Structure 1
Amino acid sequence: MSDDAGADGDGDADELTVRQVRADDREAVVAFTESTWPERGDDYIPRVFDEWVETDGPTQRTFVLDAGDDIAGICQGVLLSAHEAWAQGMRVNPDYRGRKASPRLTHAVFDWAREQGATVCRNMVFSWNAAGLGQSRAVGFDPRTEFRWAEPAPDADVAGPDGLRVVENPSTAWTAWHRSEGRDHLAGLTLASDESWALAELAPERLHDAAADERVLAVVDDDGVRGMTFRVRTDEHEVEGETERFAEYGVGVWDDVAAARALFAAVARDAADLGVDRTRVLIPETVRHVSDVAAARVGFSDEPDFVLEADLSEV
């Protein structure tokens, strides 16, 4: 569900008006988003459009660029915490590229986010989306971090290395996260708990909430803590006409390959208990972390994702 689908130049945009989305915009929005990346699969905007309209409120605002008898673009802003906003779903109608559609929508999200008290706004772009990356930089986003997905297969019988144990203690997990080099690489960001495909800063209270609502796992040995993860949600989607259930884990960090094996074995057992088909664990995009996953004989996604950030602080 990456964003910033295409580039947008510096043409005339006087006749285009930014406003909040309405239910009757559906047909026009679906018309230019149903085949955003035909070589990569369906876009998610047509599937979530009705939900976006219904759930707009104090912590979410969806904007469109009204061209009179057509819609020139769409973008949504979401408040993830008191100071963090997330921009997503940036799509520009190909008929209106070169008319400042993307900058106008993005800055509408920035203005709305500032009004809600946000001091930072982030977005995510697939690493292969060159046009989206360029457009994100052009409208005010700066590089922040990159991540990849580890994908351990659900397995009730897999065991971790001898001498390593898994405990369900959010304070222990916080210690592992706080000390990890992965935290530094990720700029303190993990999957948001209440918004799919968004990243937010991890605070201790979020781990305590995850322990109550989902699951928190920490790898320890006699010398202390060695790794951690936490489950943020289970979800489902359609894959070639079949419904596939998956579990999503907010982040995975660990000290070495042995700790990685223990951590992903715990995730595999947890996923098997849930009865899901797949897992997805956000990991830092570093040579060490990705090669540790490979050494642990765990699958991972083919390409990383990039997170960018705009400073909304008023000076």
Structure 2
Amino acid sequence: MSSTVRQAREADYEDVVSVVEGVWDDRETDDYVPDVFDDWVRSDGPSQRTVVVEVDGTVVGLCQAALVSDHEAYVQGIRVDPAHRGAGYGLAMLGDLFEWASDRGATVARGMVFSWNDAGLGQAVAAGFRPESAFRWARPEPGEAEPSMPVERDPTAAWSYWTRSDGRTALSGVTLDTEQTWAVAELTRERLQRLADEQAVFAVAGSGTRGMACRVRTTEDAGTDRTLAEYAVGTWEDTDAADALFDAVRADAATLGVDGTRVFIPETPRHVAEAAYVRANTSDWPTFALSADLTGA
């Protein structure tokens, strides 16, 4: 069989749908790729590339990379038709994207894989990705809430707490990206200041700063008619700080008129247990963030 990795085209849509239909058929999870594929193709350009692998005229896999900073790339949507696994098509697409990103100055590529996705994790490691961190979603419901501790919209205090927090260590300094939906990137002081100017930043005060969070966007919940307020990260010192931080998130989301929230929190026993304690409605499983060194790509 003859295979080719090439730039994706809108005409590939039907083949792409066929590819993803069987990828997660053993899970009660909808694949987002069919909903976004057309947008991916139309928005490809200098900072984004979507590729497919074509075998004898039929698309059997797809993948996308986007530049999220001057040295970071994010890779997503790695899919290979189950009937064509084991032939190296995923590695071929990733090789193409790694070279593309490296040529544009990226020194690291990151991706996220659900913790239950053994095939995806194995493929990522085979391609040169290494586990970097793990996170879970907290989903406190929007509503009127009065934090039990002062919560200030102070990016300087939030940055100070972030730099010394065990949450930053657990996440290797990585949070949700400020521009690219469903992507991770390093949180910098400049990015946090921009979120303070354009979205919202929270710092829990009380004998020093004891927690922080930052809103990154409002978005649609894929596959539903719900809207979400999405927070790039949330981390805190103890249960009192967690309670105040999530109450601030609830109140913030309520003022936005959204249906729900999604907060990126470290996957540590303490953070998950304390989020559950303050009724922040954590997701059923963690997601792993992985990184690949592109300096030798």
One fold, TM greater than 0.5? yes
Distance in 1 of aligned mates of 2:61 and 2:288 = 22
Q: Select which of 204, 208, 213 maps to 1:224.
A: 208
> What is the match of residue 33 of structure 1?
20
Q: Is the aligned partner of 1:183 residue 2:168?
A: yes
- Residue 108 (structure 1) aligned with residue 96 (structure 2): yes
Question: Which of 109, 114, 120 is matched with 2:108 structurally?
Answer: 120
Deviates most, 35-44 or 118-127: 35-44
Deviations 1:75-132 (A, max 9, x none): 0011010111111001112232222101101111111110110000111100011111
Output one character per residue of 1:163-195: Cα deviation in whole Å (capped at 9) or x when no partner.
x20111111110111110100110000100111
Q: Does 1:294 align with 2:279?
A: no
Correspondence for 1:285: 267
The whole-number CA distance in structure 2 between the counterparts of 1:262 and 1:166 is 7
Q: Equivalent residue of 1:243, what SS? A: coil
Letter of the aligned partner of 1:90 in structure 2? I
Aligned to 2:226: 244
1:152 aligned to 140, 158, 167, which one? 140
Q: Does 1:267 align with 2:249?
A: yes
Contact 2:22 2:82 in 1 (8 A): no
Q: Which amino acid aligns with 1:89?
A: G
CA distance in 1, matches of 2:195, 2:266: 20
With normalisation by structure 1, the TM-score equals 0.91
In structure 1, what is the equivalent of residue 196 of structure 2? 211
Indicate the SS of the match to 2:95. Answer: helix
Separation (CA, whole Å) in 2 of partners of 1:21 and 1:294: 42
The equivalent position to 2:181 in structure 1, one of 185, 196, 199, is 196
**Identity across aligned pairs (percent)?**
49
Q: Does 1:233 align with 2:217?
A: yes
- 1:119 and 1:238 map into 2 onto residues whose CA distance is 31
Which residue of structure 1 aligns with residue 73 of structure 2? 85
Give the total of aligned pairs: 296
Distance 2:228 2:211 in 1: 22
1:17 corresponds to: 4
Alpha-carbon distance in 2 for matches of 1:97, 1:312: 25
The Cα shift of 1:147 comes to: 0.5
Taking structure 2 as the reference length, the TM-score comes to: 0.96
Contact 2:23 2:82 in 1 (8 A): no
For residues 174 and 264 of structure 2, the distance between their equivalents in structure 1, rounded to whole angstroms, comes to 10
1:136-175 mapped onto 2 (5 Å cutoff): 136-156=124-144, 158-161=145-148, 164-175=149-160
1:17 is displaced (CA, Å) by 0.8
Distance in 1 of aligned mates of 2:134 and 2:142? 25
1:45 match: 33
Structure 1 residue runs of 5 or longer lacking an equivalent are: 1-12
CA distance in 2, matches of 1:133, 1:27: 26
Counterpart in the other structure of 1:304: 286
Give the secondary-structure state (helix, strand or coil) at the position aligned to 2:225.
Answer: strand
Once the two structures are TM-superposed, the CA of residue 135 in structure 1 deviates from its matched residue by 1.2
RMSD, aligned CA:
1.4
1:96 paired with 2:78, answer no
1:42-83 alpha-carbon deviations (Å, 9 max, x no partner): 211111111011000111000111223201210001101011
CA distance in 2, matches of 1:259, 1:177: 14
Distance 2:122 2:296 in 1: 25
What is the letter of the counterpart of residue 258 of structure 1? D
Shift of 1:238: 5.5
Q: What is aligned with 1:9?
A: none
SS of match in other structure, 2:226: strand
Once the two structures are TM-superposed, the CA of residue 35 in structure 1 deviates from its matched residue by: 4.3
Work out whether residues 34 and 45 of structure 1, in 8 Å CA contact, stay in contact via their aligned partners in 2. no
